Amino acid sequence: MEHQHHHEHHEAGGAGVARLEFIVREVSPTEALVRYDCPCGCKPSTEYVRDSAESDHEHCCCGNVHFVGPNARADLDQYLAERRATGEDDDVGGYDIHEETLAAPWGGQIPVVYGLPHRPRKH
């Protein structure tokens, strides 16, 4: 069941969030959904397959972007470098990068890396 949370956020200056709270959901014994409730109202999610070397990622409309998988950091860096090169992120002014490790449903760990834009876009 999907639960709807309606939290009122009153953020001074609208400077965006400091970090994201990820939720890991078991899809199958070898697949997990990694998602978060974005402050902009979206629910970006990625799928990670157990022991996979491939990253999955989701880039929210507001600019928050997250990658899951063992190569998440390198893949995120490359993704953002390409966007910077083409000027696609000129309006957000760069990203703060965060790394964390989530507990996988099968007992291992899922690395997650995410970037929070300095100037989030409007939803």
Fill in the amino acid letter for 91. D
Under rule CB under 5 A, residue 17 binds Zn ion: no
Site for Zn ion, residues 58 to 77, rule: CB under 5 A:
60, 62, 64
Least Å distance between CB 74 and Zn ion?
23
Residue from 17, 42, 49, 104 binding Zn ion (CB under 5 A): 42
Q: Which of residues 79 and 106 has its CB atom nearest to Zn ion in the complex?
A: 79
Print the SS3 string covering 3-30.
Answer: CCCCCCCCCHHHCCCCCCCEEEEEEECC
Under rule CB under 5 A, residue 38 binds Zn ion: yes
Q: Which of residues 4 and 29 has its CB atom nearest to Zn ion in the complex?
A: 4
CB contact at 8 A, 20 and 37:
no
Burial class (CB in 10 A: 0-12, 13-18, 19+), 109: exposed
Q: Which of residues 62 and 92 has its CB atom nearest to Zn ion in the complex?
A: 62
